[in-house]
Amino acid sequence: VAVESAPAIVVGSGYGAAVAALRLGQAGIRTLVIEMGRLWNTAGADGKVFCNTANPDQRSMWFKTRTEAPLASFLWLDVVNKDINPYPGVLDRVHFANMSVFVGRGVGGGSLVNGSMAVTPLQSYFAEQFPTVDTAEMYSTYFPRARAMLGVNTIDPAWFESTEWYQFSRVSRKHAANTGLKTTFVPSVYDFGYMQREAAGTAVKSALGQEVIYGNNYGKKSLDKSYLAAALGTGNVTIHTMEKVRGISRASDGSWLLTADRIDATGAVVETKQYGCTYLFLGGGSLGTSELLVRARQTGTLPALDASVGAGWGPNGNVMLGRANHLWDTVGANQSTMPVMGIDDWANTDNPVFAEIAPLPTGLEHWVSLYLAITKNPQRAAFSWANGALNLNWSAAQSSVSSGMAKKLFDRINSANTTVYRSDLFGTPSRTFADDFTYHPLGGCVLGKATDNYGRVKGYSKLYVTDGSLVPGNIGVNPFVTITALAERTMARVLAEDTAP
């Protein structure tokens, strides 16, 4: 079998992978990026690259026959999801026994589908989660570097106060204030200058056109427009798409061997490829990287991997919920899809929660306040490879720790505002708290446990992890800025110490 080789290979093209690709390319190291999803640069029949949330088509989801949006229903009616043709669409929902995980698929990974919230964690909580990392250096060097490269910006407060598109946030802020709770603006990688032009009618609508989770056609600085564009610009980086790496082994000379399946638009494997490299960077995300490593340990191709590979996984305490407002508290028919505000009760040591105020953009007034709560759930689970599949031993009881914490906070908000929960949003039977899915899979190859203090995988040399699997299950805020900054820290160290000729 022909082996195509490069000095460095990066698996995946999300945040951690994109940082690795750029910094390798800048160091003059020829690098191949292997991504299982599509390159999203070609318009469909409607002239757009991505479909919106109101009219999802095959581009929406990764090989499904029906969309699986986080909100399953409205007034218990199955009006949200639509039948689609199986296709390598941009959003995947991966199902484990008691937890399903949303991930992006394509060049840019999660940056293609996410809500753009670019939040730096509380320094004290970062230090608690990463006791071996030099926190001062993270906050003086790597977080600023990550934010600058990602293109983080903030909403103009005056525009926020006046625009109909954020009335939903202002109503939730008022209800938080009535409860004695603090709210805070969250930065974003969505260009607020562009959004203001959307509102003024001088730019094509994206965030104001119900676009999010299935991709944004305009306005969002996803990785293909930041780190990956810069990586390609070095002239040293190549990206292969629609190829899923499934096997990793080590050749007798110490180099890495990869096996990848190239698929077509129907999902059929059309070619199995072999790759070789000296330096291997894993950036397949918490699920992708954990799968490759637990599989390699279980099948014996990388037997020296540490026992902690696969462990330390958590859903960042995610819980989605809705509240029903009084008739006079309208949330607006027009809602931006990009959240810009959160209720910050993390300092409440009895029940730490950070709840982002989420939009529900249906084009109709519905009086619903929606939230994605991030709770400080200490529960963790582990991945394993069994019967040819990745398994995760997260239990429903572990999820109820998250929803219990969300309930404690939102019971207070409801009581202070004499409001109630909505129970019609998450399918039948009725449920108030959606604690069985996450947008924020974290862990599986935790920094300092399965790797050294810089993401070098224990037991092997020249094998690195740069993605969300390094984060120990919870970081208290939306995670991509943390993942990016940690990857910057890893690359600075690896390029200084490991790759010198």
Active site residues: 356, 440
Residue 315's region, left for phi above 0, alpha for psi from -120 to 50, else beta, is alpha
Which region among 111-119, 123-131, 140-148, 195-203 touches ligand FDA (by CB under 6 A)? 111-119
352 counts as binding ligand FDA under rule CB under 6 A? no
467 counts as binding ligand FDA under rule CB under 6 A? yes
- Residue of 376, 369, 374 lying closest to 413 (CA atoms): 369
Q: Of 250, 355, 479, 489, which lies in the binding site for ligand FDA, with binding defined by CB under 6 A?
A: 479
Q: Of 11, 302, 374, 445, which lies in the binding site for ligand FDA, with binding defined by CB under 6 A?
A: 11
Nearer to ligand FDA by C-beta: 410 or 480?
480
109 counts as binding ligand FDA under rule CB under 6 A? yes
116 counts as binding ligand FDA under rule CB under 6 A? yes
115 counts as binding ligand FDA under rule CB under 6 A? yes
Binding mask 234-273 for ligand FDA (x = CB under 6 A): ----------xx----------------------------
Contact criterion met (CB below 8 Å) for 375 and 476: no
104 counts as binding ligand FDA under rule CB under 6 A? yes
Residue whose structure tokens are 């490829």: 273
Cα–Cα dist 466/470, whole Å: 7
HSE value, Cβ hemisphere, 13 Å, CA-based, for 177: 7
Which region among 131-139, 281-289, 391-399, 489-497 touches ligand FDA (by CB under 6 A)? 281-289
279 counts as binding ligand FDA under rule CB under 6 A? no
Q: Tell me the DSSP string of 309-363.
A: TT-SBB-TTEEEEEEEPPTTS---S---SS--EEEEETT-TTS-EEEEEE----S
Minimal distance, residue 484 CB to ligand FDA, in Å: 8
Q: Of 151, 468, 473, 476, which lies in the binding site for ligand FDA, with binding defined by CB under 6 A?
A: 468
HSE value, Cβ hemisphere, 13 Å, CA-based, for 184: 16
322 counts as binding ligand FDA under rule CB under 6 A? no
34 counts as binding ligand FDA under rule CB under 6 A? yes
Q: What's the token pair of residue 300?
A: 């014996």
Q: Of 8, 13, 320, 456, which lies in the binding site for ligand FDA, with binding defined by CB under 6 A?
A: 13
Cα–Cα dist 13/227, whole Å: 10
Question: Cβ neighbours of residue 257 under 8 Å, at least 6 residues apart?
Answer: 3, 248, 249, 250, 251, 274, 275, 276
Residue 335's region, left for phi above 0, alpha for psi from -120 to 50, else beta, is beta
Q: Of 24, 213, 321, 340, which lies in the binding site for ligand FDA, with binding defined by CB under 6 A?
A: 213
Cα–Cα dist 51/43, whole Å: 10
Q: Which residues of the chain form contacts with ligand FDA (CB under 6 A)?
A: 11-17, 34-37, 102-106, 109-110, 113-117, 213, 244-245, 283-286, 288, 292, 439-440, 467-468, 478-480, 483
